Amino acid sequence: MEIKKVAVLGAGLMGHGIAQVSAQIGKYEVNLRDIKQEFVDSGIEMIKGSLQKFVSKGTLSENEKQETLNRIHPMIDLKKAVADADLIIEAIPENVDLKKSVWAEVDKYAKKGAVFASNTSSISITETASATQRPEKFCGMHFFNPPQLMNLVEIVRGAKTSDETVKVVAEAAKKMGKETVICKKDAPGFIVNRVLVPALNEAIFLVHEGIADPEDIDKAIKLGLNWPMGPLTLLDYVGLDTTLAISEVFMREFEDSKYRACPLLRQMVRAGLLGRKTRKGFYDWEKK
């Protein structure tokens, strides 16, 4: 099966980036859909800003920028977005009930041969796929933030995912310029977040317990472990609400207290200190 058109559901932090790489690198026609016009407009503005950075660096021409934008079709009509799409990538908030309700609706409108992929970072692919009548066509396609710069895509098998679906999604990811890894079992956090989220949570505990300031924690991990970015800076990029959601999935699925979210993480999310997207998290992004 050849992918010609991609639908991306969700124009937010991840969705707009996935739409951009699909159109810019993959050269796919892309339907970018969100539930409100303002969300779609915001996504398009973020794409324009990102493309302009590539133009400023000399890695993209003005003509290529415009061609990319011409391949992206913003909309709020779900049926229109998915009806002619070969690959449908969902990038909506990490809420299993919300995801299942969206996929149940997509299943009604998508054409017979369409492949379904969820960009979830932690939620069960098997459970999400159960909302559709074609779980064999469903897999995880986990991009990393920001999709325009991060090279990895985790492809995750659900209990009923077919080999053909994995192959088609892997080929599409490679056409988007990505390296792929296969998560053979539908396990919480897949590969990267299974390792990363407990490490990020431990960094928050260091702040919570007054052991070190965020700047020194980030400096220590960057220089001591050769991370390109410190854990607390990374948390601000990922979003503290997203990290908390993943931690709660781990606690529920593994039933192990080692995955308990730090109280400071929960408190900051309640206060709306989510990181870059709210301009404040562990750092003040208005100043940065």
The candidate with the shortest Cα–Cα distance to 249, out of 128, 89, 107, is 128
Residue 261 is given by DSSP the state P
| Interval 236-253 mean pLDDT | 91
Summarize pLDDT for 169-179 with one digit per residue, the tens: 999 999 999 99
Please measure the distance between the N-terminal and C-terminal CA atoms of the chain and give it in whole angstroms. Answer: 46
Summarize pLDDT for 127-152 with one digit per residue, the tens: 999 999 999 999 999 999 889 999 99
pLDDT at 259 over 80: yes
The candidate with the shortest Cα–Cα distance to 129, out of 112, 142, 117, is 117
For 117, phi then psi, to 5°, come to -140, 135
Give 122's pLDDT tier (boundaries 50, 70, 90). confident
DSSP-derived 3-state class of residue 266: helix
**Spatial distance between the Cα atoms of 131 and 253, rounded to a whole number of angstroms:** 19
What's the chain's average pLDDT?
96
Token readout for 207 is: 């702040």
Four-residue CA torsion sign, 252, 256, 261, 263: positive
Check residue 18 and give its pLDDT. 98
Give 247's pLDDT tier (boundaries 50, 70, 90). very high
Please check whether the domain covering 5-183 is classified as CATH 3.40.50.720. Answer: yes
Summarize pLDDT for 28-70 with one digit per residue, the tens: 999 999 999 999 999 999 999 999 999 999 999 999 999 999 9
Token readout for 172 is: 């599409």
Catalogue the active-site residues. Answer: 121, 142, 154, 193
Q: List residues bridging with 6 in a β-sheet.
A: 30, 87
The more confident residue out of 95 and 262 is 262
| Interval 159-182 mean pLDDT | 98
Check residue 149 and give its pLDDT. 93
Topology (CATH level 3) of domain 193-278: N-(1-d-carboxylethyl)-l-norvaline Dehydrogenase; domain 2 (1.10.1040)
Domain range list for the chain? 5-183, 193-278
Q: Are 90 and 9 in contact (CB under 8 A)?
A: yes
Q: Are 170 and 180 in contact (CB under 8 A)?
A: yes
**Spatial distance between the Cα atoms of 217 and 1, rounded to a whole number of angstroms:** 48
pLDDT at 288 over 80: no
**Spatial distance between the Cα atoms of 40 and 108, rounded to a whole number of angstroms:** 23
The number of residues in the chain equals: 288
Same fold flag, 5-183 and 193-278: no
| Interval 229-233 mean pLDDT | 97
Q: Are 115 and 87 in contact (CB under 8 A)?
A: yes
**Spatial distance between the Cα atoms of 163 and 152, rounded to a whole number of angstroms:** 20
